Structure 1
Amino acid sequence: MTDINQVKEWRRTFHRYPEVSYKEFETTKRIRHILEDNDIKIVDYPLQTGLVAEVGQGDTIVALRTDIDALPITEQTHLDIQSTTEGVMHACGHDIHMATILAATMKLKAQEATLPGRVRILFQAAEEVGSGAQQMVEAGVLEDVKVVTGFHNDPTLKIGEFAIKPGAMTSAVDRFAIRIQGKGGHAAKPEESNDPMIILGQLMTSIQSIVSRNISAFDSAVVTIGEVSAGNTWNVIPDQAYIQGTVRTFNAETREKTEKRMQDICDGLASAFNAEIELEYIHLPNAVINDEVLTQKAIEAAKDTGFNVEHLKEPKTIGEDFSAMSDTVPGVFAFIGSESEYDLHHPKYNPDERILEKAPDYLVGLIQKLF
């Protein structure tokens, strides 16, 4: 049986050598070597990065998923295990996830003779760009799978805490980019130009009114502008302006309404200011929807493992492309406390490795209940 020191060493190695989405070649090799060294069957699917393994036998298949990619962030933890790759960091804890799923895989391997079916372990690339799970689905990894499960570490929860709810667990994630084409000129002669800065100001104010004036108080949405750019000096009116940001919603109706309202605003301002305004609106992962029956089984497994279970009242506003899998087959997804002073995607994010002590046992217990 794999001991906790080995699990921690796996995590630390993954942390030292992170790779961004679709570039996880060495990470995939490390996972493959660990699996092969422990006589775990690897199943061939058309994937450039990431891989699939199986434990057990029989017709019933339960899937267990982890993400494997890192973020383009320069680490600032100054730890002994700090990233050795410039500008890349496991700032979302996928190193924790990989080590946890590997530990669970070894425990399942030890029980292989008594498993009532097969566990298909999915080491998924490119979660951070929101398309890796869909790529796996298209590769056929969920064919004949009964249910799928996974988890994410949560640095806002203490070690030993576990959070879950049925229904929407995370938000749908969309990205928008808006390009304004006006007419530049001399700053002293604005009447000869069509200043995109003025349009930009109106656009930003109007976009921020979508949630407060178009979304019901009984629904939820987030609209955030993350980048604004226009001009490059003090005495010139520029030709163009640009903004981009994100929308987070929890149901299809609110998602559609937000997108339509944003398009209406762009069209209206284009007409009012006689300018060209182009909206690019990109749908990224859907909301993760937890199956109600599977959620209850996850709660039971968490309690059996000794976790303090929190029943979430509201979904998290983070995105998670596990939704592509749980949209395909019934799924359940949970948050497990990793107790870091700094949150996910922060250069000083530093999860507590004690999460590795219970999380694998929870997954093993849950999988036994899912057959």
Structure 2
Amino acid sequence: MEYTQTLERTYQELHRLAEPSGREEKTSLYLKQRLREVGYEIHEFPGHYGFYVEWPGEQEEVIALRADMDALLQEVKGEVRANHSCGHDAHSTMVLHTALRVAREAKKYTHTVRFLFQPAEEIAAGALEMMHSNALKNVVFLGGIHLRPEREVPSGKAAPAIRHGAIVSLKGKVTGTPAHAARPEDGNNPIEISAELMERFRSISIEEPFSFKVTEFHGGEASNAIPATCIWTYDIRCHTNEGLDELTDRAEEEMERLESETGADISFSLEEFSPAARVNRRAVQKAEKAIGKVSGEEAVDGICESPGAEDFHFYTYHHPEIEATMIGLGCGLKPGLHHPEMTFDTTALCFGMEILYELLKEADRSTYNKE
């Protein structure tokens, strides 16, 4: 009970420090101070607030845990502010206390143990920044953890992996010809062209589950004038990276076809890409054993299927040789992730920390890159 209260106190302190992506200065300082107190050397980088610490092992090969630090910028009770509605404060709490436990127990590890604290997950930039800073040097195993809504993973259980899909934002602009609304024949209406494009996008279909939805649409400032431009954004999601590529290729074909038919200019960009998860069976087996050791086999849930995205998967997208998994922690979370009033059972923090600690031990027993 005392240790649970200690984790909850850390969580509350981090929760109050909530900072948006790329501005995690106070959060980073808090975590660094806690880690320095037990003797860790801080490895930090210019240009962002991410950092890592290490517990030395007998080998240079690294087994690692990753936490994200940033909060969402959203409206809460009429005030726009940084708000931890995705649980990153909880993730940092669990990884921090795993690192503190490793230092306190001074256990000998075969592998070097690294704890990554990453910025800017919410804007899909932090993992890329950490890799650019060489934070993955010598890493052979990478674990993470994420709070899950009750409907995905029940309280008291944990999923050995989360299968996030791939996501990208298709942002575009149709440039037509402005005219007086009384003489539409003199113009080329970009709103109508964009509406036609929306219908064509709706006709796109592939074999695997996907989502292709408009999230922004704006054109015109006056009721009696045909505007020159119309801008829009589509949120595109798919279970696999290959499926996402197929969807964006089909969308590009439709834009090129409509551009040719109408004479308008259609420009676009693909932004905010996050790759789909690579479910690694060896890493999943380690996670299953870790969960089972903490709470028994009945606590091991199936792989969590999530419609969301997570920049954790950039690590294996660019380094598929790394064994990696993100554990989904059941914690009674409601009403949902990214909801401004998200809450969860904070006693689950101890459950998650114990799983991460056992996961490190399972990872340390393995050999890597021997095939």
Q: TM over 0.5: same fold? A: yes
2:95 corresponds to 1:101: yes
- Give the Cα–Cα distance (whole angstroms) in 2 for the partners of residues 346 and 205 of structure 1: 31
Structure 2 counterparts to residues 237-256 of structure 1, below 5 A: 237-256=226-245
> Structure 1: which 4+ aligned runs deviate by more than 3 Å?
44-47
- Give the Cα–Cα distance (whole angstroms) in 2 for the partners of residues 355 and 26 of structure 1: 25
Aligned to 2:73: 72
Aligned to 1:291: 280
Pair 1:303–1:335, CA change in 2 (3 A)? same
Pick from 328, 349, 370: which aligns with 1:356?
A: 349
Letter in 2 for 1:244: T
Letter in 2 for 1:349: M
- Unmatched tracts of structure 2, length 5 or more: 365-371
Aligned to 2:368: none
Q: 1:231-269 deviations in whole A, cap 9, x for unaligned? A: 123222211111102211233432221111111111111
Q: Which piece of structure 1 moves more, 8-17 or 118-127? A: 8-17
Pick from 138, 158, 162: which aligns with 1:162?
A: 158
The total of aligned residue pairs comes to: 356
- Asked if the contact 2:4/2:347 (under 8 Å) is kept, the reply is no
- Unmatched tracts of structure 1, length 5 or more: 79-84
Letter in 1 for 2:156: G
- Give the Cα–Cα distance (whole angstroms) in 2 for the partners of residues 266 and 240 of structure 1: 15
2:334 corresponds to 1:344: no
Residue 2 of structure 1 and its aligned partner are, at CA, apart by: 7.8
SS class of match (2:12)? helix
Q: Percent identity?
A: 25
Residue 189 of structure 1 and its aligned partner are, at CA, apart by: 1.6
SS class of match (1:336)? strand
CA RMSD of aligned residues (A): 2.1
Pick from 306, 311, 326: which aligns with 1:321?
A: 311
- Asked if the contact 1:159/1:354 (under 8 Å) is kept, the reply is no
Q: Which piece of structure 1 moves more, 222-231 or 106-115? A: 106-115
Structure 2 counterparts to residues 33-182 of structure 1, below 5 A: 33-46=33-46, 48-59=48-59, 60-76=61-77, 86-156=80-150, 157-165=153-161, 169-182=163-176
Residue 185 of structure 1 and its aligned partner are, at CA, apart by: 1.8
Aligned to 2:217: 228
Q: 1:203-227 deviations in whole A, cap 9, x for unaligned? A: 111112213xxx02xx222212111
- Asked if the contact 2:51/2:118 (under 8 Å) is kept, the reply is yes
2:265 corresponds to 1:272: no
Pair 1:164–1:207, CA change in 2 (3 A)? farther
- Asked if the contact 2:170/2:268 (under 8 Å) is kept, the reply is yes
Residue 23 of structure 1 and its aligned partner are, at CA, apart by: 0.8
- Give the Cα–Cα distance (whole angstroms) in 1 for the partners of residues 245 and 284 of structure 2: 28
2:302 corresponds to 1:311: yes
SS class of match (2:268)? strand
Letter in 2 for 1:105: A
- Give the Cα–Cα distance (whole angstroms) in 2 for the partners of residues 154 and 55 of structure 1: 29
SS class of match (2:83)? coil
